[in-house]
Structure 1
């Protein structure tokens, strides 16, 4: 690339690039939000889920629904792009995800959790994210097929739940896409 030739993509170019990535995406992806109550966290999770092509989100426990006006400020309408289910007991959400063919993984620090980068995520995955204060409930941890955690090297004990969702969703798709050639943004221009 010669100096001065880098430019931001135009909206049409971005749409073409995203369409190419969608064609390279086959695995289904969903989430269970167990008692995630912060409306800005829920809105951010919906927006990130929509960006990564999540099929559905089950709300569980006392999770805040996207109909809350504060959720909408962060979700910016993306809640209409992801099928979501009204809050149900968390174990019912896990059961529904398994019946729908998902491998259910809780994002939580447990004694048997595997590091995110070592988890086998290139299949139909449903991620469980727990409440901001207490994480996933013990019953949900037992019901999950496995658990994973996000390695950290700093002096902070945990990530914000919306940030944890974004990191994990990105890794799920990265693992799926790592076996296919990457579309080049430059090649997407007319």
Structure 2
């Protein structure tokens, strides 16, 4: 019978996964206005080892009380900054050596499982009502979407972000470890 891991065992498990994680992961959060979505995104970012989040547009920032409540303190593990425009956020990410992909349903988007998520990646997500702005979509080279088979055509932005971050890490972890002594 399975048993739940003790806190010490969880820390040990997390350390072993961190040792297998080499790629850098970042986010651009454009105009996500609901603080609980922003907090959930930050919590997922901390869980998947996102090193930086750029907030742009009218996104609710991590300093909002609702964001802090949902993030449950995990916001302190993720570096963030606010930039006025999506183009500036994309430029900051590319200047930092990251490949930027927008998570959006567009006519040329590729399914997430086929998206170029290898190496250092920055995922860009858009607001709750309208998704990524035309300015953001124009600034990125690739768009990707999460295939869905149910009767609902979209996911909540925080959930979609977590799915995409999880897929990026899953792909990395599915490759053989470069250090034979790891996991």
Q: Shorter-chain TM-score category? A: over 0.9
Structure 2 match to 1:39: 35
TM-score, normalised via structure 2 length: 0.95
Rounded Cα–Cα distance in structure 1 between residues aligned with 2:154 and 2:70: 22
Structure 2 match to 1:49: 45
2:66 paired with 1:70: yes
> Tell me, which stretches of 5 or more residues in structure 1 are unaligned?
182-187
Structure 2 match to 1:171: 167
TM-score, normalised via structure 1 length: 0.91
Deviations 1:84-141 (A, max 9, x none): 0024211100110010000000000011100001112121000000000000011110
> Tell me, which stretches of 5 or more residues in structure 2 are unaligned?
178-182
- From 14, 22, 37, the equivalent of 1:26 is 22
Query: Across the two proteins, how many residue pairs are aligned to each other?
Result: 178
Q: Specify the SS of the correspondent of 2:26.
A: strand
Output the aligned Cα RMSD: 1.1
Rounded Cα–Cα distance in structure 2 between residues aligned with 1:48 and 1:162: 8
Rounded Cα–Cα distance in structure 2 between residues aligned with 1:8 and 1:156: 33
Q: Specify the SS of the correspondent of 1:148.
A: strand
Structure 2 match to 1:83: 79
